[in-house]
């Protein structure tokens, strides 16, 4: 193994989807935007379709084609960014369904493709995407007469179940949509975990499928193995890496592995992070470089050939915490240099 390797466990992915699906009595879709949070939209969508997922969600129409190829003609594929300026029938070939976000998008779609299926995204308080309440009020009857495929809104604070914003958005969404015939959805991973009031007709988790918080019971889906390039002995008082900020306090063995911040292992990941040989942790020491990480392997009985940095012991959220970010960003920044393997 000469390159760092990303292994995506599709059994764990499927098991996370089933576990989330079991938490509601409604349909559970899957968000596969940003190349399925960096893990590969094709294999991920195919595995989820096999589990029974019938509603997929991407951010931009361009992302939908790979999903369509993976899931076949039947499942619905919704596009969160809707029908953008410059979009046309080509972008929405393969029956991709735009989520209309503004009166302009609605008008544009009606002019370009009056018979094309669409959904609606409403703004219930996040102020990011979606029709404002006033725009919705004036378009509602026209839109309803055209049979939208879904009406959704998105929670801003669902990673904090007790945040008052959640109930405010719930009420706004209800006030805006009670009585519509179209299937409604408010919940991503966080909303799904907050209970039935938030479930409406279907839920649409993303990050929980991929092993990330706020789904605390998720199985880890990704592991990352780093090949060791070189191992050296370091004497007491010698330093390791840029800035010389790690100093050996005992005679040490230092392994240098082939991955770094250009591979999504952020430079900001400070101390407290380990790599592993099986269950045995070996601490990362010194600064993370662009392509290299240094690891204290003194306590191993023999020099390792590879070290694992993401596994069941140390999750994307552990790395995220060490880097001052969120698991979503760790997942989506696991770079293009890894060789990828799928456990099917």
Ligand X SMILES: *Cc1c(COP(=O)(O)O)cnc(C)c1O
Residue numbers at the binding site for ligand X (CB under 6 A): 31, 33, 80, 154, 188-190, 204-208
End-to-end CA distance of the chain: 20
In whole angstroms, how close is the CB of 58 to ligand X at the nearest point? 10
User: φ and ψ at 86, to 5 degrees?
Assistant: 95, -15
Query: Could you tell me which residues are annotated as the binding site?
Result: 128, 290
Q: Of these residues, 33, 55, 328, 338, which one is catalytic? A: 33
Identify which of residues 190 and 304 has a Cβ nearer to ligand X in the complex.
Answer: 190
Based on the residue annotation, tell me whether 33 is a catalytic residue of this protein: yes
Identify which of residues 207 and 240 has a Cβ nearer to ligand X in the complex.
Answer: 207
Helix (H) or strand (E) holding 112: helix 103-112
User: φ and ψ at 328, to 5 degrees?
Assistant: -55, -40
- Tell me how crowded residue 159 is: count the other CB atoms within 10 A of its CB: 15
In whole angstroms, how close is the CB of 129 to ligand X at the nearest point? 7
Identify which of residues 59 and 300 has a Cβ nearer to ligand X in the complex.
Answer: 59
Q: To which residue do tokens 């020491």 refer?
A: 285
Cis amide bond preceding 214, omega within 30? yes
Q: To which residue do tokens 């907050």 refer?
A: 194
Identify which of residues 204 and 287 has a Cβ nearer to ligand X in the complex.
Answer: 204
User: φ and ψ at 79, to 5 degrees?
Assistant: -115, 110
In whole angstroms, how close is the CB of 206 to ligand X at the nearest point? 3
In whole angstroms, how close is the CB of 126 to ligand X at the nearest point? 9
Query: Could you tell me which residues are annotated as the binding site for substrate?
Result: 128, 290
Distance of alpha carbon 100 from alpha carbon 136, whole angstroms: 11
Q: Of these residues, 55, 242, 261, 328, which one is catalytic? A: 242
- Report the catalytic residues: 33, 242
């Amino acid at each position: 193994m000469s390159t760092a390797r990303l292994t995506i466990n599709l059994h764990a992915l499927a098991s996370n989807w089933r576990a989330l699906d079991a938490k509601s009595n409604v349909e559970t879709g899957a968000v596969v935007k940003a190349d399925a949070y960096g893990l590969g939209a094709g294999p991920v969508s195919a595995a989820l379709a096999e589990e029974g997922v019938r509603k997929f969600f991407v951010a931009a129409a361009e992302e939908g084609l790979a999903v369509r190829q993976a899931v076949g003609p039947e499942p619905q594929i919704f596009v969160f960014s809707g029908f953008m300026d410059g979009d046309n029938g080509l972008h929405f070939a393969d029956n991709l369904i735009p989520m209309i976000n503004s009166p302009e998008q609605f008008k544009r779609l009606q002019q370009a493709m009056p018979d094309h299926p669409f959904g609606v995204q409403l703004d219930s308080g996040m102020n990011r995407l979606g029709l404002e309440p006033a725009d919705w009020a004036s378009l509602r009857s026209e839109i309803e007469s055209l049979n939208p495929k879904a009406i959704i809104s998105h929670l801003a604070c669902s990673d904090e179940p007790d945040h008052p914003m959640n109930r405010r958005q719930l009420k706004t969404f209800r006030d805006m949509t009670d009585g519509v015939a179209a299937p409604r959805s408010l919940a991503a991973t966080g909303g799904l975990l907050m209970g039935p009031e938030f479930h409406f007709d279907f839920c649409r988790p993303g990050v929980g499928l991929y092993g990330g918080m706020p789904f605390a019971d998720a199985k880890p889906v990704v592991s990352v193995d780093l090949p060791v390039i070189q191992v050296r002995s370091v004497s007491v008082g010698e330093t390791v890496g840029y800035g010389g900020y790690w100093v050996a306090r005992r005679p040490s063995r230092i392994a240098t592995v082939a991955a770094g911040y250009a591979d999504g292992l952020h430079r900001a990941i400070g101390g407290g992070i380990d790599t592993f040989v099986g269950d045995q942790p070996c601490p990362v020491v010194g600064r993370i470089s662009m392509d290299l990480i240094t690891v204290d392997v003194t306590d191993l009985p023999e020099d390792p050939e590879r070290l694992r940095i993401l596994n069941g012991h140390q999750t994307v959220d552990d790395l995220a915490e060490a880097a001052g970010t969120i698991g979503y960003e760790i997942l989506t920044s696991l770079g293009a240099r890894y060789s990828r393997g799928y456990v099917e």
